[in-house]
Structure 1
């Protein structure tokens, strides 16, 4: 092996450690997982959360490095997409709860007593954006 290959491997490994540490810091410091468990009332599944996060990160990184692609039927992909959407939505909700983003935004914009309007705008915006992406980019 040449010095160049070893240097590239070292830089790649260092970058992976840095990004992984940042992800762990985000999840740990902001308390996203405990808040997610509190919102969903699933404290008894703490080991499942830990294993899922670790396996998801490792498997996702490994598949990303291998440039893997899979072909599944829409019958299988529909529930997977639904659960992935639920997870991302709950993670985003837990993050906004932890950071108190919505109350601060509502006060700054002057919508203090109408926070439900902001929530519904976020929900409908997410649905519209997802449908547009699916219909326009995926099916064409």
Structure 2
């Protein structure tokens, strides 16, 4: 093997290790998965959450290294998109709750007693942004 190939392999492997370490640190230090199981009251199923995260990372990593196209119909894509949105929303909710983002933000901008308005503004903004992306940028 030439020096360029060895250097590329080394850089790719080092990059993968650093991203993987950051992802594991994100999940373990912040306790995202245990908090997610607490919020959903599914503590007995934590092993399934962990297995799903590992399987998702492996599948995503493998698919990103190859040129895969999933030719699925709209009827299959809608439930997959819904499940993905629910998972990302719950993960974001667990993360914000772990970090106490809303109370800190509300205190900083001086609306402690009206925190519900802050949360609704964030939710409606996320919904509007998602709808805009799907309507404008996605060709079904």
Partner secondary structure for residue 7 of structure 2: helix
Q: Post-superposition, which runs of at least 4 consecutive aligned residues in structure 1 deviate over 6 A?
A: none
- Look up the match of 1:136: 136
Stretches of structure 2 that go unaligned for 5 or more consecutive residues are none
Could you say which residue in structure 2 is the equivalent of 1:65?
65
Q: Give the aligned partner of residue 89 of structure 1.
A: 89
Distance in 1, matches of 2:128 and 2:34, equals 30
Q: Which residue of 2 aligns with 1:110?
A: 110
Return the TM-score normalized by structure 2. Answer: 0.97
Q: CA RMSD in A?
A: 1.0
TM-score, length basis structure 1: 0.97
Give 1:71 deviation, angstroms: 1.4
Cα distance per residue 1:81-124 (max 9 Å; x no partner): 00100000000000000000100000111110111001111111
**Ranges in structure 1 where 5+ consecutive residues have no aligned partner:** none
| Aligned residue in 2 for 1:24 | 24
CA deviations over 1:39-96 (Å, ceiling 9, x no partner): 0001111110111011100110000010212111110011110010000000000000
Q: Secondary structure at the match of 1:113?
A: helix
